[in-house]
Amino acid sequence: MSSLASIRSSNAAFSPSYPPVALFVGGTSGIGQAMAEAFGKHTQGNATIIIAGRNHAAADAIIAKLPKPTTPGVSHKFVECDATLMKNVHAATKEILSRHPKINFLVMSPGYLTLKGRDETEEGIDRKLALKYYARWTFVNGLLPALKKAKDDGEDAKVCSVLGAGKGGEIDVEDLGLKKSFSVANAALASPTYTDLMMEELAERNPDLTFIHAYPGFVRTNLLSSAQSTIIRATSGIINGLTYAVSTAPEDCAEYMWHGIFNSTKGAFRIGSHGENLGKKRYFGTEAQRKKLWEHSWESTKNE
């Protein structure tokens, strides 16, 4: 396994012949923020960086710290989107496509931590699953034209969903969305498997593009301290202290994730906490399940 120092050096050598466009969904904090900042550093600011999320002030603070671009036409910007609602995701993808006909990197990491049971939005989707799966599916599906345009022009066209590659469980295709059998544990096991199946299906439908599901490991973010649970928030300091030695700093995690992204070719991939290719370890799912999930995702997220 490559050292972090060598990975940083390799990532810093990323130098495309075109000014890349990268979108970070959930990029206002945590791993998404760190990946946006790392990308800005490695491109010396000469990449269009779009941060999509709810916190405009946080995005502005991140953008202010990015290296200033010197390439004409390159900019760093924020797109507001509460991704718990698919109608907002559709609006965001429409806005992005109107301004950016090409997207080279789509990185998705939205989510939040709660012990609350099923919490449906007005669209009938549990909020946790909305952020961990349905919004991500909708972003990818909506932005495929821009990804395909980038590939047609000989550029990178890669999607990375940071979640739980290799950490999923069996799913029930008769209860996709967990309306009948929801629990925090079931949701935690379902969303990684849904993502595995999504990436496989996307790769089959778009064989020239790259679709990555990543497991970042335990990363020292504000996820615990900002959890929607009094118990988790109250014990976050103790938990962080006990796990510090086995956790990863966000900026280091970002380098590992980019290492995996930069070194993945076309097709579907799963990468681990050091950017390594996980292959099909703990892979659950069949072609029939992929098709069933795709139909369910389309129906659950379609723009009325």
Q: Domain 4-301's class? A: alpha beta
**The pLDDT value given to residue 24:** 98
**The pLDDT value given to residue 227:** 47
Phi, psi of 57 (to 5 degrees): -65, -40
Instruction: Tell the residue number behind the tokens 């956790």, with chain if given.
Output: 247
For the chain, count helices (H), then strands (E): 10, 7
**The pLDDT value given to residue 286:** 85
How confident is the model over 62-88, as pLDDT tens digits?
999 999 999 999 999 999 999 999 999
Residues of the chain with pLDDT under 50: 224-225, 227-228, 232-233, 236
> E strands within 207-256?
210-214
Q: CA-to-CA distance for 292 and 194, rounded, in angstroms?
A: 11
Q: CA-to-CA distance for 163 and 182, rounded, in angstroms?
A: 19
**Residue 288 and residue 197 in contact, taking contact as beta carbons nearer than 8 Å:** no
Query: Residues with Cβ < 8 Å from 182, sequence gap 6 or more?
Result: 117, 118, 126
| Tokens at 88, concatenated | 């907002």
**Residue 292 and residue 176 in contact, taking contact as beta carbons nearer than 8 Å:** yes
**The pLDDT value given to residue 235:** 55
Q: CA-to-CA distance for 145 and 151, rounded, in angstroms?
A: 10
Q: CA-to-CA distance for 239 and 224, rounded, in angstroms?
A: 9
Query: How far is the CA of 229 from the CAs of 112, 114, 233, in angstroms?
Result: 10, 6, 6
Amino acid at site 166: G
How confident is the model over 192-210, as pLDDT tens digits?
999 999 999 999 999 999 9
**The pLDDT value given to residue 220:** 75
Instruction: Tell the residue number behind the tokens 């002030």, with chain if given.
Output: 57
pTM of the shown model: 0.92
Instruction: Tell the residue number behind the tokens 């890669």, with chain if given.
Output: 158
Q: For the chain, which residues make up each domain, given as ranges?
A: 4-301
**The pLDDT value given to residue 224:** 47
